[in-house]
Structures are given as structure tokens and as C-alpha cells.
Structure 1
Amino acid sequence: MAAQPAGSTIPRTADVVIVGAGAAGAVLAARLAAAGAGTVLLVEAGPDYRSADTPAAVRGTDVSRALAVRALRWPGLRARLTGDQPLRPYVCGRGAGGSSAINGQLAVRGPAADFRAWVDAGLPDWGWPEVLPAFAGLERDPDFGDRPGHGSSGPVTISRAAADRRGPLSAAFAAAAKAAGHPEHPDLNAAGSTGLSPTAWHRRDGTRVSSNDSHLEPARHEPRLHVAGDHTVSRVLFSAGRVRGVELITGSGRELVSAPAVVLCAGAVHSPAILMRSGVGPPEQLGALGIEVVAGLPGVGAVLSDHPAILLELRLTDAAAARARETESGCFLVRLRSGPQAGPADDIQLLPLDRTVGPAAAGLLVSLMRPVSVGSLRLGGADPAADPVLDLGLLTERADLDRLAAAVRHAADLLAGPALRGTIASAPALPDGDLGRWLRENCRPQYHPSGTCRMGPPDDPATVVDQEGRVLGVDGLWVADASVLPLPCGAPPYLTTVMLAERLAAAVRRRLGQGR
């Protein structure tokens, strides 16, 4: 991997420090630098690199190769998924682009129902009419960009696999879904697209478009933007409840950067960890670690959500396996309602994977996109080198277990249909006994953490930030990433995180212009 770009010398003072160069931080850095917000320092714990120097394994469309680049992951991070599983490695991006550099690349908007729920949760500025322009503005969609509610000139390229590039499992699964009565929609980001749609990705010309490519690279020419890779923010520094800078850990020791404004974009795992190390969080936890309390916010780390999923492993026929190696994987998506009409809409997602890792080498990923079970995050210690402790609490609530069980049964029925003959050698067999226990033992996260610094009304004890991302109880500090989501995103969260960052960048810019 190329060395950190020239021009990344760390200034001793800055007008605003942004922590994390991932899906949100790249947006904030680009927008604030372009708006003339003064000296902007973007600090990233992992490696920084120019878009042209992106490692080949990350640039391509094979997510298993991207996930194998250990330099772009937090190496020691682990999580307890359920009470029936031991601690397991938890994938979290690290480096320019963050998780957008190694994720599954799905470009799916959070649906309108999400934002109606946000309004019901006391966030009137985040309704669907308010967020739709930002979703449209970030898109560069050559297929639907000229349609109402879409965009054709934004920074994030949206693409779909051409018909002749769709993998054999994808094609056969789509036929099975149609035969089962799932309605077809060419654009899964259009209103009312429940059913079968071609998968949309954040890719351009067959290569990944991370936030490093879409937002940070075009902004690197800004003279007052400084990007510092391989620097960890140990804590935010305060004086009388107001931000005065950050403490960094570098290869040569600790450094202080003075700044009146700090925006945390380190993600739903590390933004709350930085807050707690800085004295902002649950007082009893901080006191037990000897951390002085600056602002007692019990909601920090208290509500950790992820999307639980089951991979139904498949073995392709020899002919299908040969074809799968030459085509794209995961080219269709089915979204459906797991329960009665009164239940959550589009709470289940089915994604055929023509290529996976392991002896089965293919599979169908069944995901619960609107879970109600939550877990928690706490500090592993006051030392910044200690990884946060994650307990995801997947499938804790019976409703989640029942909905995922119903979805897995439906998925197994689809795979057993005639449309898959000649593509898969055999359909997966579900356990004869306790399906619920099997789900708890075999479910996996989608690595979509959220909710650990929840946005909400100030009278809610779980609230950490207000509608503009400002941390309660202190001045000059924002959080602007997926950790502020008040509810789990009903879709893969990348586009929602970019949209959120675009809107919060405007809010931060306004506040900085007002001197706060």
C-alpha cells in the first residue's frame, strides 16, 4: 500500500477536527473544506492513501478479497453475537474510506418508513420529504437518474450488473422468486419496490466507489484540508465543558491539536468509545475506569444494533460453479414482509451469493432488516489500545427469532423449487428440531452497527446528540455517523450514512459560521 500522501502534515491548531475518514468523515471533510470552514484536520486511525493507490483486492467486486485485507480492519475487535455463541471477530473498516472500502457495496436507500419512524421518535427535521433531496443529490445513477426523486450528477455512482454478467445462482433465484409471486421492480430505490429487484451497488465501471473515491479524493486539493492517516484519537479535550482540541497517539508518542470544534465520524463502534474515553458517557462506567465525567450521558454505547442474518450454504453444480467464477455475485435482491400486513414492511432481505468463502462456495443470505433486539458497547479499558467490548444481543427478542425463522423457511422453499434445478446440487436442509436454537447458534451480523450515540429529543435518557448531531452537555462536539441512527436502518446503511453526513455537514457548517 502506498505511503501516506504528501501534504498530510498535522497542524498544531485547526478550526475543526474530524475523526474518521470513512463513509461519514470523508463527506464532512470534503464539505467543510470546500465551504471555507478554516483549517480542517481529518484524522484516520488506519492508513491514508490516494484513490489511485487503492489496493487491487479492495478495488474489485469480490467482497471476500476486500475483507481479507487486514490492514483495513480493526484486527483485534471481537463481539458476542448471541448467548449461544462464543466471542467472534467483528469486521469494522479502518483506513481511508472506512467500511465502505471493504463492505458488500450495496447501494440501497433507507426506505421512507424509516424516516416516518424518526419523526415519530421526536425528530421532525428527519422526515422523508426532508431527506429525499439529499438521497437524490448524492446519486449518479445512469439507469434512473432522470426519474423523479433520483439524481444523475452526485458523487456516488450507482450501478447494476448487466444481464449477461449475472451469476447463475442470481439468475435462477430470480426465476424462483418470480414463480413464487414476488413482484418485480427494476429500481429497488423507487417507492413501493417491495419484491424482486436487480441489486444496486456503489460501483463505477465494475470497481468499488468508496467514500475515499467519491468525496475525499476530489477534495484533497483544498489548501486548508489536512489528512493524517495512522493517527488514533485517544480523547477529546475539554475546558469548562467546551471542546479545546484532541489528543492523538502517533508512532512517536502523544500529540495535542488545539481546535474549538470536533466532529466524531469514527463509526458506531469507535465514536462512542472516544466519547467515553473523553468523559462523556454513563457515569458509573466511567467512574469504574477512573475517567473523570465531563457529561453524564447514559445513552452512550447503551443501544447497539446490527442486522442478524443466516447464510444458507449451497453447493453449485459443476457447470454453474464454472459460470459463477466468470460473472458477478449477488445480482438480485428480494425484500419482503415477514409477518402480517400490520407488521414491519420490507423487514426481510434475501440475497443470493454466487460466490462465498468456504466449502459450500455459494449461498443465500437471509437478513432481518428491522430487528428490535439490541445489545451494548462498553470500554475495554481507559487505554485507547483496548478494543471496545461488543455484545450485539442478536435475536434476544422472540419477535426477531420468529420473523427470521419464517424468512429462513420461505428461503428454503424457494431454493427447493424447480427453477434452481441444474444450478444447485442440493437444497439446504433445515434442522428437524429446535429451529430457534439453530438460528441463535448460526446467525451472523451484517457488520452494520448503529445506535450507540442515538439522536433524539433531549428529554429521552437514551439521547446522545440532538437533530444537528451536537453532543448534549458539551459545546463544540458533534457525532455524524451511523452511531446516531435512532432506529436500525431498514436497508444496508451505506447510502443512509452518506445522506446523514451530507445533511449534518450543512448543520455543522452553519454552527461554525455562527461561532459555535
Structure 2
Amino acid sequence: MPARAPIPDMLFFDTVIVGGGSAGCVMANRLSADPAHSVLLIEAGEDTPPGAVPDAIADSYPMGLFHGDRFVWPGLSAFTARRSDGSQGSRAYEQGRVMGGGSSINVQSANRGLPRDYDEWATLGATGWGWDDVLPFFIKLERDLDCGGPLHGKDGPIPIRRILPPGWPPFAEAATNAFAASGLPRRLDQNGEFEDGVFPPAFNNEHDRRVSAAIGYLDAATRARPNLALWPHTRLLRLRMDGARAAGVEVERDGALTEVAAGRVVVTAGALQTPSILMRAGIGDGVALAALGIPVAIHRPGVGRNLRDHPTLTFCQYLPERLRLPMTYRRASFAALRFSSGVEGGEASDLYATASARAGWHGLGRRLGLYFLWCNRPKSSGSVRLVSGDPRAYPEADLNLLDDPSDLARMKAGVRTLFSLLVCETLNPDAGDVFPAAFSPFVKRLSRVSRTNALLAEALGALLDVPAALRQMALKRFMSGGVSMAEIVSDEARLEAFIRGSVFGVWHASGTCRLGAPDDPQAVLDPTGKVIGSENIYVADASAMPRLPTANTNIPVLMIAEKIAAGLARA
């Protein structure tokens, strides 16, 4: 263990923020705007200060970040779903460990969701979190470069744009036409037009460079504030509790243990780490905590429950030369489809698909289109369970995907619809050239940017440019388990086995410390974001979501942090 640093006079901050991810960056900016209020932001990963943002993070093309351990928590994994044979699937679950968190490594999608999502939050007990309540904070965070009017902001720290014609490469028009064959109309603004349709995806990016929460909220002027301290490479060991109050934090920094006193603590460590931090502090299900020998400070059985993610599948498609994107063209995602399953137990806008012209940064990825499909508003929920009081031990995360039969039924409908749209003249009419994609260990290793991988990927890519019969025979054997996608889609049992065996969570973990009414035993936070029963502990990240929105989670997380920060600034 590191030696404890001598502290003659313990450091004190009015607010200590635990976690420098998307929400933590918002909190640090907004709370330190009051020069009389001292703020400390701690982050386990490295910083991304102005002028020193790593090229891999700033790049418009994000997939190279999902290799190695530099920017993610190493070895973190999650259970996915029960397979058809009864076994439980599991896979790596990449979560940002870097200033900016998920916004520094994600695909930069800037999707708000629909008004019905937030009105449901209010119905579930999160008073003051309906659409009309949260819209001002969506407006506050953004600087929309394409869309105006009363639904959009022009002065926020996060630029939002779309790639629009006439600046489309051929794949963009082809994918949009393929999705439009569903009969749904083309629309411009997925954040302001709330019906189903085909959209150019919105993303947080300007001048073809990522704008993470760290870049947008922790700019040079904010960092220069004398009342704001940023501690990267600092790992939280525990909240120091005094009854129902957090007296401060104990951290490991520069090889030493350091204690910091706090007027209040705001936890913004994400839907897997935040409940773990609370449980190790004695906040959670009292019976489970006592079994681990953790003294119970506040009995809140909802901590760690209600874990939700969008059940997701990925597919690749061999692209003819005319649709391939030049490697110099960095942004590769051009079309999104929000649609409805129409199945029993489903609802409007319960499916979502995206189309990208590149499945990797290299020569192999250049030859393949990449498609994501997920189920919006999943009914299945899982849990985060503490297995040890050791702060270095990861919790057990069980996404429990597809537990509700309606989620499986909707994914079946989605696979069939997406497959029917992809096999077309505008993209590639040969059904044998569509196959399941997987972020396998080999694919992750190949994603590491290096000359060796570039040469290997180019050689593998060249093997695809052979006669179709040879290519499809190889794809069927090595990528589809000896069965083509057409055969999978046409057989109910095969389709179910494929979905259960391939489904994963799309890094949208949420809900494990949900907002709700103080008298709701499953709620963890009151509508201000304060932990129910505590005196000064707040949570402001994806774990606060009562239900998943019809969207990627990053922009909703920024909204949550903006709204809770506004309340804290007035307190």
C-alpha cells in the first residue's frame, strides 16, 4: 500500500466531484463559476488539457479507441444475456477512464431522445424531470450548427452538427436510400423531429474534431479559475462517512494516500462505478452490505438495481469499391433509422439502426459497412452487485439483456427489417455479403493502430476482394457459424439462438441510482439528485436515469449534470 501523505491541515473543498467523465466536467465548470465556492474534480485516468488532447481522442473516427487499456478501465466486463443453451454470455465492457469519460471515447452521437422518455421519468417519481423541465438544459449545453428555433441552443459548450448533402460521399446517399426503402421519410433533426424516420446522425464535433465534455467544459478559461482544482491520475479509495454525511474522501494520488474534507460530495463515476462507491460507503441494501462486513450508513435497497442498457447487435456488409470511403475521410457514420417494431409488447420508435461506411481504421475495415441495431426502451433490467469491499475490485455487472420476452421479439423484428433493407441495389444486392460483426479479442487487437496491424488488415481485406462465391463461403464458415444470415433470418430457432448468443450492451449502462420520490424504496436519489437519507451526497450521471431514453446516453447525461448543477448552485 502507498504511504499515507502527511496532512497537518486537511485540505477542504466546498464540493468534491468524484469522476471526471461527462457529468463531472459539467459539474466542475458550473459549480466553480462561483468564485467563492471551491471545487475539486478527481479522475482516475489521464487529463486531456487544451493543446494536449491525444490524437486518438480528437479524431472524428472513434473505433481505434476500443483497444488497449489507456483510456478505459482495464478488465471490466459485464454479463450480457442467457444463451439458448442456458449459459450466460459475458464480454468486455469498455468504460472511459480519462478526463471526459465516455464523451472522450464514444462514437460522438448527440441524440437527446424523445419527450415521452422524460415525461415517463416524472411519472415514475422524478418530479421536475418532464420534457418541459429538461428541455432548457438540453438547449443550454448545445451549440447546434445546423438547426435553430426554440428547441435548439446556439451558445452552449458542445457543438452539434450533421453531415448533410451536397457534402455526402456515395455511401451516405446509398445508406440513406436503403433505409428510406422502409417507407419512412427523410428527416433532418432527430433532436427536434420526434416521429420515426431516416436521419443524418447528430454528433458532437466541430472542424472534423471531437468535442468531448472535457474539451467543451474544461477549457483554458475554466481551468484558470483559482477555486477549481483538477486531479487526474487520482483514484478514489472511499467516501469518509460521518453517519449520513460524507465528511470527505480518501484517494490515492502520486503514490500516496490523501484525505480531503468536503462540504458536499457529488459522485459522477457512471452507472457501474457510482453504485459501487455508494455501497462501499455503506449506502445500499443493508442485508447485502452486512454480509460483506460493510457498516450500513443508509439503507437504500435500490442502489445497484435497475441496470439497463440497449440490447444491441452489429452487422457488416462487403462494400463494392464505389461505396468505400477514402481513409482521409474521417467521419464514417451517415445515416440513422428510428423505427417501430410493430410486435406485441412493443411501442412506437422502439428500434434504432445506424449505418457507417467503415468497420475499422484499416484496409479491412475500409471494405466493410458497419451497422448497429438496438432496441429502444428495453423492459429487461439487471444489477450491479458488490463482491468485495476492496475499492480496487470491480463489481459484478449483469445487464440481463432480453430477460423480458418483448425485448427478444423486438430484436427479432429489427434483425429481419434491417437485413431486408441492407440487401439492395444501392448498397449490395447479394445477401451472402451481410454477416454478423463481433468485437472479438482478435478484432480488438487488430484495432490497435500500428504498422503491423495495417499490413495484416490490408492483407485480410484483399482476401475479401475475391470472387463472390469464395468470399461468401469464407464469411459463412468463419463469421456466421456455417449458416448464412439469410438462413438465420428465415428460421425462428436459429434467429433466437443468434440474437441470444451475439447480443451485447452498447455502452449505455444506466439506472442504478435512479431518481424518484423519497418514499419509493427503490429510488436512490430525490429529484434534486441528493441520495435519499444523506445530508450532502449527490449523484449526477447515467445511474440517475429512471429509464433509458430513446437515445445514446451521452447528451442526456450532460443534461442531467446541467440540471443538478443548476440546483446545487442555487443551494
Query: TM-score, normalized by length of structure 1?
Result: 0.93
Task: Tell me whether 419-428 or 48-57 shows the greater mean CA deviation.
Answer: 419-428
In structure 2, the CA distance between the partners of 1:103 and 1:423, relative to structure 1 (3 Å rule), is farther
* Superposition deviation, residue 425 in structure 1: 7.6
* Structure 2 residue 261 is matched with structure 1 residue 258: yes
Q: Would you say 1:446 and 2:506 are equivalent positions? A: yes
Query: Given the alignment, which residue of 244, 247, 259 partners 1:244?
Result: 247
- For each residue in 1:373-422, what CA deviation from the matched residue of structure 2 results, as whole angstroms up to 9, or x when unmatched? 11110123111111121111011110000001101100011012232237
SS, match of residue 315 in structure 2: strand
Contact 1:301 1:377 in 2 (8 A): yes
Post-superposition Cα deviations, 1:429-455, rounded to whole Å, max 9, x if no partner, equal: 241343112101011211011001011
Partner of 1:309: 312
**CA separation in 1, counterparts of 2:432 and 2:341?**
28
Q: Residue 156 of structure 2 aligns to which amino acid in structure 1?
A: G
> What does residue 474 of structure 1 align with?
534
Cα-Cα RMSD:
2.1
Q: Equivalent residue of 1:54, what SS?
A: coil
Gaps in structure 2 of 5+ consecutive residues: 1-8, 436-484
**Secondary structure of the residue that 1:303 maps to in structure 2?**
strand
Deviations 1:214-246 (A, max 9, x none): 112241111100000111112211213222111
Mean Cα deviation higher: 359-368 or 290-299 = 359-368
1:417 corresponds to? 424
Query: Would you say 1:505 and 2:507 are equivalent positions?
Result: no
Deviation string 1:35-84 (CA, Å, 9 cap, x unpaired) is 23521110111112303211101110111112236211001201111122
In the other structure, the counterpart of 1:114 is 117
Aligned with 1:375 (options 379, 382, 387): 382
The amino acid of 2:238's aligned partner reads R
Deviation at 1:274, TM superposition (A): 0.6
Which SS does the other structure have where 1:291 is aligned?
A: coil
Which deviates more from structure 2 when the two are superposed, residues 355-364 or residues 43-52? 355-364
For the Cα contact (< 8 Å) 1:79–1:390, is it kept in 2? yes
Correspondent of 1:173 among 172, 175, 185: 175
8 Å CA contact 2:235–2:251 kept in 1: the answer is: yes
Alignment partner, residue 36 of structure 1: 35
* Whole-angstrom distance in 1 between the partners of 2:58 and 2:391: 30
2:374, 2:518 → 1: CA distance? 33
TM-score (normalizing by structure 2)? 0.84
CA–CA separation in structure 1 for the residues paired with 2:171 and 2:396 = 37
Structure 2 CA distance, aligned partners of 1:334 and 1:322? 21
Q: Cα offset for 1:118?
A: 1.1
Distance 1:404 1:247 in 2: 44
Report the equivalent of 1:21.
20
Q: Show the 5 A alignment for 1:129-278.
A: 129-145=132-148, 147-163=149-165, 165-217=167-219, 218-278=221-281
> What is the CA–CA distance in structure 2 between the aligned matches of 1:21 and 1:43, rounded to whole Å?
6
Given that residues 359 and 369 in structure 2 are in contact (C-alpha distance below 8 angstroms), is that contact kept between their aligned partners in structure 1? yes
* Residue segments in structure 1 that go unaligned for 5+ positions in a row: 1-9, 512-516
Superposition deviation, residue 191 in structure 1: 3.2
CA–CA distance in 2 between the matches of 1:322 and 1:492? 25
1:56 matched residue in structure 2:
55
Q: Shift of residue 179 of structure 1?
A: 2.9
| Higher mean C-alpha displacement, 294-303 vs 432-441 | 432-441
Q: Which amino acid aligns with 1:131?
A: V
Distance 1:330 1:322, change over 3 A: closer
1: CA distance, partners of 2:319 / 2:510? 35
How many percent of aligned residue pairs carry the same amino acid?
36
The match for 1:465 among 493, 516, 525 is: 525
Question: For residues 238 and 269 of structure 1, what CA distance do their matches in structure 2 show?
Answer: 21
1:424: Cα distance to partner? 9.0
Q: 1:168 and 1:379, CA in 2 relative to 1: closer, same or farther beyond 3 A? A: farther
CA pair 301-167 structure 1, distance change in 2 beyond 3 A: farther
**Residue in structure 1 matching 2:396, options 389, 396, 400:** 389
Q: 2:285 aligns with which of 282, 285, 302?
A: 282
Superposition deviation, residue 163 in structure 1 = 2.9
